[in-house]
A and B are shown apart, each in its own frame.
Chain A
Amino acid sequence: DAKTTQPPSMDCAEGRAANLPCNHSTISGNEYVYWYRQIHSQGPQYIIHGLKNNETNEMASLIITEDRKSSTLILPHATLRDTAVYYCIVRVALGNQGGKLIFGQGTELSVKP
């Protein structure tokens, strides 16, 4: 089962910041928080990941609470093309443990004009 909880849907006005929350209260110390998004019927697109520090890249910012039990993905200026399902995933640092992403239901973000 997925170790994260996300709201099923959210709306955001075009040009405004979209703040997508994720709860991961059982996260372990060696687990990272990953965010992907999936635009209808396409493959999931990697957005960003972090361990305990806030992270920013050209797509988004990731804010992780100090206790690491929740995080927020921020799209600073949402556009219509950001309409997608956003998945928050926790996973252990790989080492030799292999790759296995456990997806939950995600948040369906609708950016409206």
Chain B
Amino acid sequence: KAGVTQTPRYLIKTRGQQVTLSCSPISGHRSVSWYQQTPGQGLQFLFEYFSETQRNKGNFPGRFSGRQFSNSRSEMNVSTLELGDSALYLCASSFRSGHRTSTDTQYFGPGTRLTVL
């Protein structure tokens, strides 16, 4: 079974621009979560999408947004880029069975390395 794929793998943008990152989950997985990793803050949760709806949101400004399509693929968008948005953006997918005792393991993609100049 193919893993989580993210495109593009590397991206260079300038301040003020906007960027869209894409994530394709593992086949059959219905939930997609996004994380940002920086040397200073480590790995931080951005948001989670399930059934095309945002289910959880981390503590990030409104410039960070996302969406999920009916095939569970997800995109995240960052508008008005700042230098501090330079980071590794990671996507993780899980099945999200909905069962109360399900642990629903998340599997991560390779990430998109965004550099803002």
Residues of A within 8 A of B (CB): 32, 34, 36, 41-46, 49, 87, 91, 93-96, 98-105
Contacts and interface: CB of A to CB of B under 8 A. Distances in A.
Contacts of A103: 35, 42-44
Contact of B104 (A43, A45, A94, A102): A94
Contacts, number: 81
Contacts of B24: none
A103 B55 CA distance: 19
Given A42-B110, A46-B106, A46-B107, A95 B94 contact: no
B90 interface: yes
B86 to A, nearest CB: 13
Interface of B: 4, 31, 33, 35, 42-45, 48, 50, 55-56, 58, 88, 90, 92, 94, 96-111, 113
A95 B31 contact: no
Contacts of B103: 32, 34, 49, 91, 93-94
A95 B108 contact: no
Contacts of B111: 41-43
Nearest to A106: B42
A7 B110 CA distance: 26
